[in-house]
């Protein structure tokens, strides 16, 4: 259970970095860029630690799914981005694929 928490936390931190980078791309504020890069680096540390407990492909895929799912929610609420049925189905299929990798 702990490795999943580490991967989830890394995905959420990665999402925060993505949000800062999105804001930087609009404002060109170098502080946002620096903070976004720092969060990216921190999330990679969480991912690297998770490799001690999970296969590299599983850990990386889980981090990405947590990141994509949280970005979909953040994009909807903060940036008024739409969630199409295709995007939702894609997210569900990706989640199913990671589950299949995990059950071996």
pLDDT digits (tens, 9 = 90+) for 27-59: 999 999 999 999 999 999 999 999 999 999 889
**For the chain, what are the domain ranges?**
2-103
Radius of gyration of the chain (CA): 15
- Answer whether 30's CB lies under 8 Å from 20's CB: no
The C-alpha atoms of residue 48 and residue 24 are separated, in whole angstroms, by 26
Report helix, strand or coil for 37.
helix
**pTM assigned to the model:** 0.86
pLDDT of residue 104: 63
- Answer whether 69's CB lies under 8 Å from 15's CB: no
Please count the residues of the chain.
104
3-7, 36-40, 98-102 — most confident range? 36-40
């Amino acid at each position: 259970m702990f490795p999943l928490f580490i991967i989830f936390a890394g995905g959420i931190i990665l999402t925060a970095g993505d949000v800062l980078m999105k804001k930087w791309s609009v404002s060109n504020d170098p502080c946002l860029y620096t903070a976004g890069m720092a969060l990216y680096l921190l999330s990679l540390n969480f991912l690297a630690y998770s490799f001690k407990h999970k296969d590299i492909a599983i850990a990386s895929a889980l981090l990405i799914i947590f990141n994509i799912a949280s970005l979909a929610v953040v994009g909807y609420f903060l940036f008024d981005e739409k969630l199409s049925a295709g995007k939702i189905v894609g997210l569900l299929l990706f989640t199913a694929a990671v589950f299949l990798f995990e059950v071996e």
